[in-house]
Amino acid sequence: QVQLVESGGGLVQAGGSLRLSCVVSGTISRILAMGWYRQAPGKQRESVATMTTGSTNYADSVKGRFTISRDSAKNTVYLQMNSLKPEDTAVYYCNFEGQWPARVSYWGQGTQVTVSS
């Protein structure tokens, strides 16, 4: 079974930085995409940063501040978050999209990020 576990969230002052990690256990066959999403209380879950073969995409609100990366050897995906703003406050979720053979989505449990003014 595939499981994703996020970590690295916490409380930070505006302008500060955090690095989120997502460790994947198990094997995802034919990965189509991976990325980070977030959901604030009362808000819809939104895409923050995603990676597919040959492309990386960021939400306009985080461009220039967030960076998604991966370490295949460690089965880990990262989200480096700099210049954090109060509006970045949300639960952040790691996501992988696979094909086995039908398309399937994998989600972590989420990690809380709170940014104070």
Radius of gyration of the chain (CA): 14
Average pLDDT over residues 97-104: 88
- Which tens digits make up the pLDDT trace of 76-88? 999 999 999 999 9
- Which tens digits make up the pLDDT trace of 23-47? 999 988 889 999 999 999 999 999 9
Q: Assess whether pLDDT exceeds 90 at residue 1.
A: no
Q: Bridge partners of 13?
A: 116
Q: Assess whether pLDDT exceeds 90 at residue 19.
A: yes
What residues contact 115, with CB distance under 8 A and at least 6 apart? 11, 12, 13, 14, 16, 84, 85, 86, 87, 88, 89
- CB contact at 8 A, 98 and 33: no
Mean pLDDT of the chain: 95
pLDDT for 50: 97
**DSSP labels, the chain:** --EEEEE--EEEETT--EEEEEEEES--SS--EEEEEEE-TTS--EEEEEEETTEEEE-TTTTTTEEEEEEGGGTEEEEEE-S--GGG-EEEEEEEEEESSSEEEEE---EEEEEE-
